[in-house]
Structure 1
Amino acid sequence: GPCRMENRNFSDNYQKFRDKIEIVSFSLDNNKAYWIEASREDNIKWTNVSDLEGETGKIKTQYNVQSIPASFLINPEGIIIESFIGFGDEFLKALDKIIK
């Protein structure tokens, strides 16, 4: 699905950004074996966490995630400065602007 496509897109670009930003993935999976296998298949090298509570978990409610994937730019103070809903290259374009 779109989250897996976004993981692969991040993975393809991770070397470019890894020294300048921190990526943290929050999974809404509720099946641990599937989550671990998908993380391996998508070549995730950054922090990747899940509460394994799926659609009803704290991750979804805390960040008010209405659809997935949802990506957030969070400043060093922990404030969300921009959010992106769905799969696309807008998030990577925003990262390019920030790190230049």
Structure 2
Amino acid sequence: NIFETLSINLGTAYVNDFNAFGRVYQVRAQADQAFRLDRADILKLKVRSATGALVPLGTLIEIRDVTGPALVQRYNMYVSVPLQGNAAPGVSTGDALA
């Protein structure tokens, strides 16, 4: 429920489609910008507990600043590291790759 609450309020969630004026429109749910401006707003979001009661997200989680890479390179969905190099003088590219 926490993931779903964060997804819908900070991102969007597909609801359904409807037809109007000969076109198909998607309906997406998202919290208004005024309700997701800062950390305190996120902690006020309500999630359903195991007993079915709505509780503030702040009673279940804390928000921390963490650092990480600005970009994660991937190849076939796996984390990868790009490598660049030149063959030594007198060595062919094919021999250098082998």
Give TM-score, length-normalised by structure 2.
0.22
Higher relative contact order by CA 8 Å / sep ≥ 6: 1 or 2?
Answer: 1
Q: Please tell me whether Structure 1 or Structure 2 has the larger radius of gyration of its CA atoms.
A: 2
Where is the strand percentage greater, Structure 1 or Structure 2? Answer: 2
Greater fraction of residues in helix: 1
